[in-house]
Structure 1
Amino acid sequence: MSSVRSLILAALVSSGIALPAAAQSCGGDLGVFLEGVKEEAVAKGIPADVADRALSGARIDQKVLSRDRAQGVFKQTFLEFSQRTVSKARLDIGSQKIKQYADVFQRAEQEFGVPPGVIAAFWAMETDFGVVQGDFNTRDALVTLAHDCRRPELFRPQLLALIEMVQHGDLDPTTNTGAWAGEIGQVQMLPEDIIAYGVDGDGDGHVNVKQSSPDAILTAAKFIQSLGFRRGEPWIQEVTLPADLPWEKTGLGNEVPASDWFAMGVQPRDGSTGFASLPAALVLPQGRNGPAFLTYPNFNIYLEWNQSFIYTTSAAYFATRLMGAPTYQKGNPEAGLDDAAMKALQTKLQSLGHDVGKVDGILGSGTRRAVQKEQARLGIPADGWPTQQLLQAL
């Protein structure tokens, strides 16, 4: 599921819209809260009867709160997650969908510069091409999260955008369902993004990303373009590696011209060095003995879509497969750490002064950077992949 993508409430304030005092509140009596939301919607120019219709019958969904409090942590390796998500069945269906909606995908690439594989991979990973879109009432989910005082600045604007969708006739508040965090449709987008980037792909006068695949495809393309996707450029490229790279230079954030990597013996499996002038990072999801990829500027849109490195790398790889790339070379990566060992490592890294974020057993960017620094200090190949050897050495 995609991460929550939204503007904070301060953006509304800075836009010059005068907000009633109630717009700053959360919690308390639900009726009073909803009246404040209505006032804010009316202040934005939405008719009062539309706001009433959108909010009538709204309730707090305890299942949404439970899901929000207990979000699953992402502890699979790249090989585990990518082999599960980039399956032959999904690849076959993806290829069929690209053919079925060839004219829509062609329009998406012509107008927004986004290739079919990029869109279709997100479509697959988010909802299995629209099959699994979530069964939470969207209005109630957003009311719940906006009323809750954990992150109202994220969700209140989404609730207001949902009311605007009701005004446009693009959403029925009583029947529309989606993800627990308010994402809607075949590519799981939040109401603000649908308002901003929605495209009527089937010409019926509405943006319906839930039922209409053309609407979903083109809306996703416009949104991906807004994230900074650069027309005609790659996003990720599988490579093979020499044995003697300066491993401490690998990892996201260590971009150099791709030509520098090629000069060091990094070889693209597809043989293409046509983008040698672009900045590229060499990423090793499971260390120097596992799969290896160069990531180019377009990879940044994946990180905007979802902050999980394993999800984004898998989605980017999935897109290349849909565009004709072969299955990656698995290599023979060293065994990683189990949950308890990873937490022990993070605790040790913290004690050494590294910022690893929360000690949660997840190999996030902070932990990878810390691992790489300690590997270099200890004379271990600094590929950012934590192993028992490193843990024992520390």
Structure 2
Amino acid sequence: MTAMTAMALSTALASPAAAQTDTPCGGDFDAFVADLKQEARARGHESGLVDSFFRGVRQDRDVLSADRRQGVFQMPFTDFARRLISESRIENGRRNAEKWQDIFDQIEADHGVPRGILLSFWAFETDYGAVQGDYNTRDALVTLAHDCRRPEIFRPQVFAAIELHAEGDLDPQTTTGAWAGEIGMVQMLPEDILNNGVDGDGDGRVTLKTSVPDALMSGANLLVDLGWRPNEPWMTEIEVPEDFDWSLSGLTVEKPVADWGQLGVAARRGDLGPAELPASVVAPQGHRGPAFLVYPNFRVLFEWNQSFVYVTTAAHFATRLEGAPAFDAGDPEPGLSGDEMKTLQRRLVEMDHDVGEVDGILGAKTRVAVRAVQEEFGLPPDGWPTPALLNRL
């Protein structure tokens, strides 16, 4: 499993600080498995099938270790993007776009999901299928369902995996994937495979690990199910005027494209998009760094992965694969280290701002809080925390 796969997955499902629910979790692992077996039988599965699914199941400590790793999301956008977007990834993307042109054409015709988006996730999740993860899928799901951080997410996935096993599409002994239980080239959870899996190559099976048509069509089907709006853009790099009101930036502010144009926002390449399309200005490293206009389809990508820096990088990479130039990095002010970010978050909490988890990651709530204190200090409210701001606090 590559470092890229690990970083793509570490927030793919929910915040580490997700609220606890009444979902059963914790305690003796064997007793927990016995409870899962009982529920599986109550759902109508035969005892022989249930026993075969859970035979040899074990708690995977490596999965728990991977689930706790979040450090990469502390990287600034430009560093993160340069780490992920390489010339080889771009070239491999172009080759795959040509090799599977008929499949991409069919997806765009049927679903309106562009090839750039699918290529981007295919690249970042598994390097175009080359590295799909070697964690036992069943063990990973049961381990995370037993762990009390997010049992409400993973317990249902265990039963979805049993359904796949019953259909002959998952071998609990040999099926492997990512540490969080995703399977295949575009890394889909069992429940998503059940609901959105597509037999793209016509062989009668949904095989996401070895069939490119199955993986791409299933990924497109999932995006549509998550709310993808056909044949609409997702991101455009922009230039803003010197007197731009940065309090209007961020995903909490949405205006029609025409209104942004009247405020002096201009596309760096091409046009801004349909006049009535709702859009937001995002500046991942503040007013001196790169800036983008993002549309409803950009928000859909957070259903795939909740990390802002990951989604913004994937969205930009998708535009690169469709011919856009590399973003203009500008001259952003230095950001904060992970420890400094935690100090900032703790100070913001003391000031009665909601930052979510104090985790050293610049998430959506922390950006909103930073913007509020920047306005108090008369600074450009761009949501980008700097050492100078930390010192002021």
Distance in 2 separating the partners of 1:335 and 1:150: 33
Distance in 2 separating the partners of 1:319 and 1:104: 17
Q: Secondary structure at the match of 1:239?
A: strand
Q: Secondary structure at the match of 2:313?
A: helix
Aligned to 2:177: 178
Distance in 2 separating the partners of 1:345 and 1:148: 29
Q: Does 1:128 align with 2:130?
A: no
Aligned to 1:244: 243
Describe the superposition over 1:236-289 as per-residue Cα deviations: whole angstroms up to 9, x where unpaired.
Answer: 110011100111111111111111111111101223144121111100011111
> In terms of mean alpha carbon deviation, does 382-391 or 130-139 score higher?
382-391
The percent of aligned pairs where both chains have the same amino acid is 53
Q: Residue type matched to 2:342 in 1?
A: K
Q: Residue type matched to 2:218 in 1?
A: T
Q: In the TM superposition, what are the counterparts of 1:314-333 in structure 2 within 5 Å?
A: 314-333=313-332
| Contact residue 12 and residue 306 of structure 2 kept, 8 A | no
Aligned to 1:169: 168
TM-aligned CA deviation for residue 24 of structure 1: 6.3
Q: In the TM superposition, what are the counterparts of 1:278-289 in structure 2 within 5 Å?
A: 278-289=277-288
Distance in 2 separating the partners of 1:355 and 1:386: 15
Aligned to 1:48: 47
Q: Name the CA shift for 1:334/1:112 in 2 (closer, same or farther; >3 Å).
A: same
Describe the superposition over 1:114-161 as per-residue Cα deviations: whole angstroms up to 9, x where unpaired.
Answer: 111111100111111111111111111112222334433221211111
> In terms of mean alpha carbon deviation, does 315-324 or 360-369 score higher?
360-369
Distance in 2 separating the partners of 1:180 and 1:315: 20
Q: In the TM superposition, what are the counterparts of 1:228-307 in structure 2 within 5 Å?
A: 228-307=227-306
| Contact residue 141 and residue 181 of structure 2 kept, 8 A | yes
TM-aligned CA deviation for residue 71 of structure 1: 4.5
Distance in 1 separating the partners of 2:121 and 2:136: 22
| Contact residue 349 and residue 370 of structure 1 kept, 8 A | yes
Q: Does 1:192 align with 2:197?
A: no
> In terms of mean alpha carbon deviation, does 370-379 or 315-324 score higher?
370-379
TM-aligned CA deviation for residue 233 of structure 1: 0.6
Q: Residue type matched to 1:277 in 2?
A: E
Q: Residue type matched to 1:163 in 2?
A: I
TM-aligned CA deviation for residue 85 of structure 1: 0.8
Aligned to 1:19: none
> In terms of mean alpha carbon deviation, does 375-384 or 37-46 score higher?
37-46
| Contact residue 238 and residue 292 of structure 1 kept, 8 A | yes
Q: Secondary structure at the match of 2:372?
A: helix
Describe the superposition over 1:199-226 as per-residue Cα deviations: whole angstroms up to 9, x where unpaired.
Answer: 0111111111111111110110000111
Q: Does 1:57 align with 2:89?
A: no
Distance in 1 separating the partners of 2:219 and 2:57: 28
> In terms of mean alpha carbon deviation, does 140-149 or 117-126 score higher?
140-149
> In terms of mean alpha carbon deviation, does 41-50 or 187-196 score higher?
41-50
Distance in 1 separating the partners of 2:124 and 2:208: 16
| Contact residue 285 and residue 310 of structure 1 kept, 8 A | yes
Q: Secondary structure at the match of 2:73?
A: coil
| Contact residue 258 and residue 278 of structure 1 kept, 8 A | yes
Q: Secondary structure at the match of 2:74?
A: coil
Describe the superposition over 1:79-124 as per-residue Cα deviations: whole angstroms up to 9, x where unpaired.
Answer: 0011111111101101111111111112222222211111110011
> In terms of mean alpha carbon deviation, does 125-134 or 383-392 score higher?
383-392
Aligned to 1:137: 136
Q: Secondary structure at the match of 1:238?
A: strand
RMSD: 1.9
Describe the superposition over 1:28-78 as per-residue Cα deviations: whole angstroms up to 9, x where unpaired.
Answer: 454443343233333333333222222212112222223334444511010
Q: In the TM superposition, what are the counterparts of 1:302-313 in structure 2 within 5 Å?
A: 302-313=301-312
Q: In the TM superposition, what are the counterparts of 1:359-374 in structure 2 within 5 Å?
A: 359-374=358-373
Q: Secondary structure at the match of 2:279?
A: strand
Q: In the TM superposition, what are the counterparts of 1:62-77 in structure 2 within 5 Å?
A: 62-72=61-71, 74-77=73-76
Q: Name the CA shift for 1:374/1:88 in 2 (closer, same or farther; >3 Å).
A: same
Q: Secondary structure at the match of 1:74?
A: helix
- List gaps (5 residues or longer) in structure 1: 7-22
| Contact residue 240 and residue 292 of structure 1 kept, 8 A | yes
Distance in 1 separating the partners of 2:24 and 2:391: 50
Q: Secondary structure at the match of 1:335?
A: coil
Distance in 1 separating the partners of 2:378 and 2:347: 18
TM-score (norm 2): 0.91
Distance in 2 separating the partners of 1:27 and 1:372: 39
Q: Residue type matched to 2:369 in 1?
A: A
Distance in 1 separating the partners of 2:64 and 2:240: 46
Q: Secondary structure at the match of 2:123?
A: helix
> In terms of mean alpha carbon deviation, does 341-350 or 362-371 score higher?
341-350
Aligned to 2:390: 391
Q: Does 1:219 align with 2:218?
A: yes
Q: Secondary structure at the match of 2:238?
A: strand
Distance in 1 separating the partners of 2:97 and 2:80: 23
Q: Secondary structure at the match of 1:172?
A: coil
| Contact residue 236 and residue 272 of structure 2 kept, 8 A | no
Aligned length: 378
Q: Name the CA shift for 1:294/1:44 in 2 (closer, same or farther; >3 Å).
A: same
